Structure 1
Amino acid sequence: MPNLKTVVSRSPGANAVRRFVTAASLLLAFAQSVTPASAEDPSALFREALRQDLMGGPTGARLAFDMYRRAAEAGLPEAQFNVAIMLDSGRGVSPDMEQAATWYARAASHGIRRAAYNLGQLYEAGQGVPQNVDLARAWFKASGLPAARARLTAIRSGGAKAATLSAPILIAPTYGELIGSSANSVKLVWTARQQPEGVRFFVELLALVPSGSSEIYSGFVDISSLNVALSSHKGAFAWRVLAVARRGGRYAASDWSYMRTTAN
């Protein structure tokens, strides 16, 4: 942990439709590899969801969303992206921009570039997340897609900065969430309001052991999600995120949140 000083102190529209339409290539890429789904096989669930999705109609869309969601909860990044797309566009499920942003962040933590681009759009517009031009830019940069580079150029000058630091808001895993005994990694997702100039996020993840705690990860990032390997660690974990000023050592920290791999 660096030496820090305590700080005192959308309705779906054209963009949502475009984000859905641009996902069609992902559906078509898998259309020829359909096999029956297995509850134990996220990839098979995903392929069956694609088949239902390509059939069209509201029933197929609802079935597709349910299977995408199950595959996404099992950790399949492509399914996480499609869940986000459907929540974003309102296809097969009621629109929910907050949940869409969370699923985009999970997929983006696995390097799904369009998820990073779409999340950048949400932060730029303040849809489902606080409007935050710095996070928009960070996600566009992480995406690297031509459209993302164009947005980086368009918002290069940035917007109005906040006068004071504010603590990040932890999104997922939720407090006390059971992430499963088979989990070998965890996707940390948070959000934040616009910060002053020159602020980065510092993430801490600890394994809670009888003797106290053992650090699994600590480090600075500019984006708002992170996929962290748990290695052989099992049991209970604690995590938090700090918004840290590059100069002066000032920071604003979230509360600690807890998760576990087993019910005990």
Structure 2
Amino acid sequence: MNTRMAIVTGASGAVGACYVKHFVQENNTKCVALSRSKLESTEVIQFKVDLLDEKGTREAIEQLDLSEVSDLILVHGVGKFKYEDLESLPHLNHDRHKIDDEVFSSNYHTFVNVVNPLVKKLNEEHQRGGKTTLALCGFGSISDRYKIPFWRSYTYAKDTLRKYIKDLAKSEDWKGLIRGRFINVSTTDTGNENKLRPNVTVEEKQYWLKPEKIVAQSMPVIESLKPLWQEIDVYEILPGFNPEEYYNDYQTIKGKWERQMGLTKV
């Protein structure tokens, strides 16, 4: 058992594609891509699946052969983000703690739908005497820790996901064979981000994080077998930026986001 298997969800997206590119270049590594779109690459094992489809996702995972896998890695960068302004979303005004189900499911249930059958298969291998290790890697935003009200559904989903991964990694049942990783990133230059914020200035965008940097800085952490739980931040340094000051100034955040999204006139 000396083969590594890396499963990348959202493999057709900007970040997922960078991880796929990295893994296919690694020796003795099988790369599995889960995506709603078919990839052009013939170097990966592909499953076209919607991760919100629990049955379809389970059937895809059940097809994987883990018998010769020594280390299994799941990189999960899937999840929708939504800007939520209480004034423009009346249904949220009535309950300030209401969470958007679509945002939550896309960030949390897509992960659980992959991990549940994966852990079941891993447990079967362990019962046969195998010692396959598993790395579970999720992603969030550096701003999550500030509990920004305008994306509370996203933050709640990510916090729930953090706990899920952390609990699995620290479970005594797995005897240290599962490790959890969480990568917090700053604004990343992806197709979705560009669609969401079309009015970003050239100056602002030069400090957007490139997917390649996320891969480069996260892989040593993902590959390391210890500690069982680790959370890191990956970001571009914006000169003069004070996170404590900025993330607690809700009016400034609101103005910037609505300008970048084209909701207000420039």
TM-score normalised to structure 2 length? 0.27
TM-score normalised to structure 1 length? 0.27
